[in-house]
């Protein structure tokens, strides 16, 4: 047994989708979440910058004595896995679990991947999918406007602006006939109703945050790293921008208050 918390990080709010899944799957575990809200989005930045930010984010969580680190960020997952694998605790990202789930779900072997510009440019999802099944047809599309739309709460299923942008981005996927779509950024499940509406009922959506959370839970159980359940579950949230901008939307995503458990930090000084 290991009563230390699980560490989760993302460029902003999107990683809260993974936190929400962890709270469902492992309700007795404590969580430390770091959202780099002051430097979001990562997806439009250079690979070198993303890797530098990722190293800082991981080091911050390690200093909080976490027992595992989940990179709930498609951009970090696609550019910085080698950094994560050098950590002194188990490291997880969203790419491998999502690719495995999508390959197992598709019926016609046509899989779509949407993500930030950096994630799609890395080609990480396509490589992971073809390593599972070289006969898969993979169609990739960057969706750079989705993250700022989510971060600014344009998330209602009735939100016309977000729906129109989704139609523009996802049109090629529909024309290609994909039957499975990987939401390759943890912000995207927050607008899954819009994405699903555009893609149609016959298309399965793969939530990268949920798949990563499931993989982490399996690993902790296999290695006997789950908490004893004897103490109260705790959650702490750290951000790099205004607290007010985070807490309101975080409560909407998680379904519970984060008041009194959120702290603003300067990541460069930690």
> CA torsion, points 231, 14, 56, 90, in degrees to nearest 10?
50
Over its length of 270 residues, how does the chain's per-residue pLDDT go in tens digits? Answer: 899 999 999 998 889 999 999 999 999 999 999 999 999 999 889 999 999 999 999 999 999 999 999 999 999 999 999 999 999 999 999 999 999 999 999 999 999 999 999 999 999 999 999 999 999 999 999 999 999 999 888 999 999 999 999 999 999 999 999 999 999 999 999 999 999 999 999 999 999 999 999 999 999 999 999 998 776 678 899 999 999 888 888 887 898 889 899 999 998 766
Considering the chain, tell me which residue range(s) the CATH 3.40.50.1860 domain(s) occupy. Answer: 6-93+212-269, 95-209
Record the pTM: 0.90
CATH ID of 6-93+212-269, from 3.40.50.1860, 3.10.20.30, 3.60.20.10, 1.10.3210.10: 3.40.50.1860
Cβ neighbours of residue 201 closer than 8 Å, sequence gap 6 or more: none
Q: Are 143 and 118 in contact (CB under 8 A)?
A: no
What CATH fold (topology level) applies to the domain 95-209? Rossmann fold (3.40.50)
The H-or-E segment that residue 34 falls in is: strand 31-35
Q: At what angle do helices 160-176 and 192-199 cross, to 10 degrees?
A: 40
- CA 222, distance to chain mean position in Å, is 23
Residues with catalytic roles: 73, 185
| 1: nearest Cα among 29, 41, 34, 21 | 29
């Amino acid at each position: 047994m290991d009563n230390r918390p699980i560490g989760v990080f993302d460029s902003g709010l999107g990683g809260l989708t993974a936190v929400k899944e962890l709270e469902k799957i492992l309700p007795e575990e404590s969580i430390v979440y770091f959202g780099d809200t002051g430097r979001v989005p990562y997806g439009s930045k250079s690979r070198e910058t993303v890797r530098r930010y990722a190293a800082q984010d991981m080091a911050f969580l390690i200093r909080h004595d976490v027992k595992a680190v989940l990179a709930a960020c498609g951009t970090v997952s696609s550019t910085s896995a080698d950094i994560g694998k050098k950590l002194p605790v188990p490291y997880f990202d969203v790419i491998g679990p999502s690719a495995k789930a999508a390959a197992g779900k598709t019926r016609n072997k046509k899989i779509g991947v949407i993500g930030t510009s950096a994630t799609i440019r890395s080609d990480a999802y396509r490589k992971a999918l073809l390593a599972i099944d070289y006969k898969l047809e993979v169609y990739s599309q960057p969706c750079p406007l989705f993250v700022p739309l989510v971060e600014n709460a344009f998330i209602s299923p009735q939100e016309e602006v977000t729906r129109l942008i989704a139609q523009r981005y996802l049109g090629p996927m529909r024309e290609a006939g994909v039957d499975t779509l990987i939401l390759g950024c943890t912000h995207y499940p927050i607008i899954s109703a819009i994405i699903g509406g555009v893609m149609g009922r016959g298309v399965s959506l793969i939530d990268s945050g949920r798949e990563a959370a499931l993989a982490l839970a399996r690993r902790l159980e296999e290695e006997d790293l789950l908490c004893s359940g004897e103490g109260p579950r705790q959650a702490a949230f750290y951000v790099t921008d205004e607290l007010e901008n985070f807490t309101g939307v975080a409560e909407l995503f998680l379904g519970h208050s984060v008041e009194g458990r959120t702290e603003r930090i300067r990541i460069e000084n930690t």
